[in-house]
Structure formats: structure tokens, C-alpha cells
Structure 1
């Protein structure tokens, strides 16, 4: 792993709250960005990271997390398109969720227990990632980031306020 860990962008930073631009060039610069994203994700002890979480306005994310069977899956997806099961086939998994861009805060969020993500790798080759369990949650979470949405935006008003209070309290403790 040759990437360089970059600082994680925190909630409130504009790049996190708007849709990212599509990746149009699949070159060495994109491959280097992906390596930096992996390094940043590992340094922060995460399982997924979107480019805007390190301040880059591009539709690309990395992941390294297990699926429902415990199989560790790792990859890069540029310009992802998320496909969720039809409503009749959808089973929700309600679980605790957090985010590297909202450190210290967590909230219970129901998401479909399966997700498929279509996109491209760093060379522009089409990829499809089928996720179950934590990987399904990760694919949804990271695609949300690229659409300018954080997991806290999906919480109830009360749960969102609590998560932001927890985040602010931990930020004050860290600086003060």
C-alpha cells in the first residue's frame, strides 16, 4: 500500500453536503487517489470511504469490509449506481451506524440487507459488487456520501440531534 493518509473531512464541510462530480478520467491520478483513500480509511479504522470524505469532489469510494458470511471484500467503485431489492423482496436490517466524518456519533438506522452496486474500477473496467450484511450497508452508506447525504440525514430528527450533540461534545473534549 503506497497511499498517503489524508485528513478526514468533517460534517458541515460543504463538499460533504452536495453531490460529487462523475469520474471522467481513469488514469494514474485516479489510481493514486484510490490508494490515498485506502490509506486514509485504514488510518481512521473505517470499512469504507468516499472521496469527498478526504475533500475530493469525485464519485468514487473504496471499501474493505465483510459481507454477511464474514468474507472480507475489498475494492474501488467509481461512478456507482446502487440497486436495492424491490420493495416486495426487501428485508431491512436495523443496526448501529457511524461515520468517519461524524466521529464519535452513532445511530440506529434501518437499511436493506442486500445491495448491488454497479460502477467502474480505477482503470475504467465495469465492476459489480453484490453486498449482504455489513457490505450492503457500506455500499449504501458510501453511495449516499457521493450524493451529498450523510447517514445522520436519514435518522429521525431526535436521533440526528443526539448524534450531532455527541459529535460536538467529543470535538470539544478533543480540543479543550
Structure 2
């Protein structure tokens, strides 16, 4: 089945009152990759009952922009005397990544949260390495990255409780957890 057809079938079955588990069992034999099907079912029409995730997501969007602006400032103030080409390349990469992460976070997509969470871990590791050279800047960058990572993880778990760190979780018997 094509991606769009699978998505429409999932939405139609959910509208008819089937649980996500029943939808998975019904479509299981029609697709080749069961994990991809489980992921698609898990991420179709994720609805939040309260406005808390939406508000926290807006805060996360602002914090991710602040983190990107801080990184650009660090590149311009610390690295510009060393090599201007590295600074320009770094600013370009930061700009592209920020736009991509903002799109994923604004859409409240599972892959957006996961990718940004991994990025926050990477940035935190870089600031920890640079701590010996630039302690104050590294401490501020580390706090921003850890705060963004914690908020991203919290939102990911709140919106997608059935998803693990990178994909759909399995129970003890090896079956996919969909609800």
C-alpha cells in the first residue's frame, strides 16, 4: 500500500471507533514493514486534551531560537579572530538546522522532537568539551542546551507516550505498544 493510502485507511478506521491496536492488527498483513506501520499509526492524529503542550511547545520554539542566536554570537565573538570561513560556514549550518528544527517542533512531529533532542545532547557535549577554554560561555550554552533537551523530552513523552527514544516501543513479548 502507498503511504497516503495507508494514512487514509488508518484515519478512516480510527474514525470508525477502532483502537490503534485493532487498526494495527487489521493492517498488519497488508504492509511489508510492521514497525513503519506501527510508527505511522502511533503518529496519526495525536491530540492533546489540554493546552499545556501547545504552550510549552511555543516556549520551546522561543528557546530554540535563543539557542541558535547564542550559537551565532559565540561563533562571531570567539571564532572570528581565528578563521572567518569557519564562522560563515557555522552560521549557515546553524541557520539551516534551526529552520528545520523549528518546522519539526512547530508541527509537533515525533521526528522533530527526537532530532532536536539528539541535537541538544550533541550541543551539550560540545559545550562541555569547550568548558576548559571558555568556561562562562560554555556554562551558559550548556544550560541552554540542557534546558531545551529536558523540555523537548518532556513534550515528546507527554504527546507521544507510546513512543520510545527513537521509535515505537515494544512490550515484553515483542509486540508493539500502540496505546
- What's the TM-score once normalised by structure 1's chain length? 0.27
Q: Would you tell me which structure has more helix in proportion to its own residues?
A: 2
Bigger Rg over Cα: 2
- What's the TM-score once normalised by structure 2's chain length? 0.27
